[in-house]
A and B are shown apart, each in its own frame.
Chain A
Amino acid sequence: MSSDDPRPPSDDARRPDDALRPDDADLRPGDDAAADDGLLIRLIGEAFDATVAPPGHLEDFARSAHRLVLAEAELAEISDDSLVSARYRGDERRLRFVTPRVVLELEVVGASIMGRADGMDGLDRLVVESAAGTEQSVPVDTAGMFELAEIPTGPVRLRVPLSAALPSDETDDRFESIVTEWVVLRSRP
């Protein structure tokens, strides 16, 4: 049965097991469950907790992720990623990050990236940060092009220090840098 099933709700319409109306999409599947079902679901949850626990080093990472907040940074969101976009057909992965005044475009070729920063006059460098804590300064040429031969594995982000570019009328004094969203460009082996 699809969510727009034309059949009228059953007599027991409040029980989502039997008939789900479109308006019920915000109910929880466990609402109105029978007592046995609740017990079974609880036992399954306990079995999962006992069997599939997140590794401790990952939880430590998550707790410390808060330190990666850059309060004075403007977030450049992913607007396109050829991995999940139907618009691209090429073999190479292409990504596009945008803020209202800057566009960063990346092309991933094997373990390297080639990119272009558009919208920041005089930008001469940017920084590639990994979630593991490494930082690499990458020179940017006068056309805004940059290249990194060896992308770190795991989550990375690009940080553009505004001090590395010429001020413009568009410069927002609230921000010291622009950072992209975290993204994995290269999986760990």
Chain B
Amino acid sequence: MTEPSTTELLTAAAAGDQAAWSSLVDRYSRLVWHVIWLVGARGAIAEDIYQTTWLRLVEYRDRIRDPERLAGWLARTARNEATRQGKLAARQRPVDEIDLLGLAPVIDLSSEPEPGHAVAEGDVLTRIWSALERLGDDCRQLLGLLATAPDLTYREVAEVLDRPIGWIGPTRRRCLDKLAAVPEVRSVMEASIE
């Protein structure tokens, strides 16, 4: 049996079908959380952004122009909420931290996972994650977004990361090359191809 399309799920959810709504959450929850994480939000701020993003979809469930582009809509909404809530949090409790994405300084761009999120135990994934951590923020954010949301278009990626469209292709190439050059990653790739 084929999976229902996002359009079908959204249409059913807008008509009150709770199961369809839950399926949408199952399909896109990780994308939303990963975008929030990639733009640097952590802790209670990240949770508020996540909740508000889904509440926004509840409000606009019957007004999404192109339901098959829902991934992009959610990613942009999460990003916009991150900007808004980052600024709010900065007003409430300003701290000195770097703000690489133009978000509020309270947003922590360190690559440490949330407490309780175990670093991947699989050897291959651990090596990939470890190599990603050693790349710069640009690479980590771009490759992370492309990996977690491969259906996003250039336009959507540019909006989420607040970068020019023309920045994406060359940066992607440079970052993939950098990552592939890490010896641990190279050995993983060679083993996978063999």
Number of B residues contacting the other chain (C-beta, 8 Å)?
A: 80
From DSSP, what is the main secondary structure of chain B's interface residues?
Answer: helix
CB distance from B101 to the nearest CB of A (A): 14
**A-contact bits for B97-114, CB 8 A (1 contact / 0 none):** 000000000000000011
Is B148 among interface residues, defined by CB-CB distance under 8 A? Answer: yes
* Contact between chains at B125 and A155 (CB < 8 Å): no
Q: Does A167 contact B (CB under 8 A)?
A: no
Q: B154 touches which one: A24, A46, A71, A75 (CB < 8 A)?
A: A24
Q: How far is the CB of B155 from chain A (nearest CB, A)?
A: 4
Indicate if A122 sits at the interface (CB-CB under 8 A). Answer: no
Known: A16-B154, A43-B128, A155-B48. A68 touches B58 (CB 8 A): yes
Given contacts A36-B180, A154-B48, contact A41 B58 (CB under 8 A): no
A66 to B25 CA separation, bound complex (whole angstroms) = 10
Chain A, 32-72, contact with B by CB distance < 8 Å: what is the 0/1 string? 00001101111111111111111100110111011011010
Nearest-CB residue, chain B, relative to A60: B25
Q: Select from chain B the residue with minimum beta-carbon distance to A179.
A: B59
Q: Are A84's CB and B83's CB within 8 A?
A: yes
Contact check: which of A28, A43, A48, A184 meets B48 at CB < 8 Å? Answer: A184
Smallest Cβ-Cβ distance to A34: which chain B residue: B176
**Are A52 and B33 within 8 A (Cβ)?**
yes
A43-B188, A47-B132, A63-B25 given as contacts; is B30 within 8 A of A29 (CB)? no
Q: Which residues of B contact A (CB under 8 A)?
A: 13, 16, 18, 21-22, 25, 29-30, 32-34, 37, 44-45, 47-48, 50-52, 54-59, 61, 80, 83-85, 87-89, 91-92, 113-114, 116-122, 124-126, 128-129, 132, 143-144, 146-148, 150-155, 157-158, 164-170, 172-173, 176, 179-180, 185, 188-189, 192-193
